[in-house]
Amino acid sequence: MIVSVVLALAGSLFYGVSDFFGGLSTRRLRVVPATTIIHVFATLALLAVMPFVVVRWETGALIWGAAAGVSAILGLLAFYAALADGPMSLVAPLIAVVGAVVPVAFAVVTGEQLPVQAWVAIALALVSALLVSVTRSDAAVRVRPRTVVVGVISGISLGTALISLDRSPASAGLATAIVEIAVGLTVMLIVLAATRTSASVRRFFAQFDHQPEGGPVVSVGRARVLAATGGVLVGASNAFILFALQSGSLAVVSVLVSLYPLATIVLARFTLHERVTPFQLVGMGLALVASVMLALS
């Protein structure tokens, strides 16, 4: 269990850092170009490590990798749509928890066996994922039903991507992650081309280009470097998560991956001097406790 926990936490850390870099890049670049750059460099990063790891192009890797890629991109675009349509402090926790609950529920239904301590730790990690995603918000702000639906779709899609990766054959090695990110890149290139040729598509995606409050607005060149760096980290994160799933439990890996906002919060605190809420501090403590419990299960 400990190897899977360490790999899952590494994947969560890399994804959280990439989310921070990607967030900074979208302050200057539009969402679609930034996301495309991220996927280009994520693909290149995975291709670069191919000579050093096991890669077998098995049928299962192709099928489940493609399914994971489509699910992940749908979840990402729905994530942006939900954040553009409602308050981040309420929408982000919803997506994080749904994205973790879906794989956990699937693991339960399919009869995954874990010790009681592990299930208690999973419950703590779910609460932690909810708390660390909570940011300051105007109490009078409410989430519209449409936003809730889009947020749930995002969480289900992201959770389904993890399930798809878990269903792929372990013998395929890194092949599944490569297919996943390559499919995501293909979808983003199609979307990018559509925004360049269709005014209606361009207007549709423009609504996701909301600017977050506060923080620096970087130059275009630096924004592209940040997006590229975020892409390399996404590629590494996908590899760690896949290897964690191949060596451990879907339920455990999914809840640990859902803790990725921790890295984003810490970086924002020390580089952008953003305030950490009491809820987030409690969530960080629970995340630490849950991780130790899972490692010792």
- Residue 202 CB coordination number (10 Å): 14
The pLDDT score that the predictor gives to residue 87 is 63
CA dist 60 and 235 (Å) reads 20
* Lowest mean pLDDT, pick from 1-10, 13-22, 58-67, 209-218: 209-218
The pLDDT score that the predictor gives to residue 141 is 53
Statement: residue 158 has pLDDT above 80: yes
pTM of the entire predicted model: 0.87
The pLDDT score that the predictor gives to residue 47 is 95
CA dist 95 and 85 (Å) reads 13
CB 66 within 8 A of CB 179: yes
Statement: residue 139 has pLDDT above 50: no
The pLDDT score that the predictor gives to residue 89 is 60
Residue type, 266: V
